[in-house]
Amino acid sequence: MRVLVASNNPHKLEEFRRILHPLGYTAVSPADEGIAVEVEETGRTFEENARLKARAFASRSGLPAVADDSGLIIDALDGEPGIYSARYGGPGLTDAARCRLILDRLSDVPLANRSARFAASITYADQGGREITVGARVEGVIAHEPRGVDGFGYDPIFLYPPTGKTFAEMAPAQKDAVSHRGAALRRLAEALSGRFDAGILR
């Protein structure tokens, strides 16, 4: 089954392709389909924004669309950057500068108080009016310095305690096996195959 990845983030697209392929889905990009859609993320939650993106891409493309709204939640920053993760510190910053901004804001915070999690809400929307939203999280700790070269975004500062490595130090398949996005997409595939009621998933 072909699904359109309702995202303009090339790193997410790569992860979707990688995770969905073994689940029996072919992920196509907006560029593959020759469409460009910009969605204003006006929702107040990851779920609301995922729904907005999936619906917009599905209606513009004629294909079933899968959208992800995700971010990093840091307890010592009262949940920031949260739904504003992509634009934290201003739209002109690089991923590395955003990581540095967080490290500077946490400079006095000891490891014991650096708990954080990645969260993803993923919505599937199709032309028949079927819509499914699932969510998943992965718990971690904000490192004191960036480490690793894989991944994207905040991966270099997100320490995953069971491996002692940041997500950027883990092989892509190792990240997918435990990440918010990997878990949410596997739940979505189960829901689409009708194995259980997605309404109860959060």
Q: Is 125 exposed, middle or buried (0-12, 13-18, 19+ CB in 10 A)?
A: buried
Residue 78 has phi, psi (to 5 degrees) of 55, 40
Instruction: Among 3, 64, 73, 85, indicate the residue that binds ligand ITT (CB under 6 A).
Output: 85
| By the rule CB under 6 A, 70 interacts with ligand ITT | yes
User: CA-to-CA distance for 166 and 158, rounded, in angstroms?
Assistant: 5
Per-position x/- string for 135-174, each x denoting binding to ligand ITT as judged by CB under 6 A, each - no binding = ----------------xxxxx-----------x-------
- Which of left, alpha, beta for 52 (phi over 0: left; psi -120 to 50: alpha)? alpha
Q: Is the dihedral of CA 8, 9, 13, 16 positive or negative?
A: negative
Quick one: 86 or 201, whose CB is closer to ligand ITT? 86
| By the rule CB under 6 A, 8 interacts with ligand ITT | yes
User: CA-to-CA distance for 106 and 68, rounded, in angstroms?
Assistant: 27
User: CA-to-CA distance for 94 and 172, rounded, in angstroms?
Assistant: 21
Instruction: Among 181, 183, 184, 192, indicate the residue that binds ligand ITT (CB under 6 A).
Output: 181
Quick one: 71 or 135, whose CB is closer to ligand ITT? 71
Instruction: Among 3, 4, 7, 159, indicate the residue that binds ligand ITT (CB under 6 A).
Output: 7
Quick one: 32 or 196, whose CB is closer to ligand ITT? 32
Would you mind telling me the total number of residues written for the chain in this entry? 202
69 catalytic per annotation? yes
User: CA-to-CA distance for 108 and 104, rounded, in angstroms?
Assistant: 9
Quick one: 42 or 110, whose CB is closer to ligand ITT? 42
Active-site annotation holder among 32, 68, 69, 75: 69
| By the rule CB under 6 A, 9 interacts with ligand ITT | yes
Chain residues in the site for ligand ITT (CB under 6 A): 7-9, 12, 41, 68-72, 85-86, 118, 151-155, 167, 179, 181
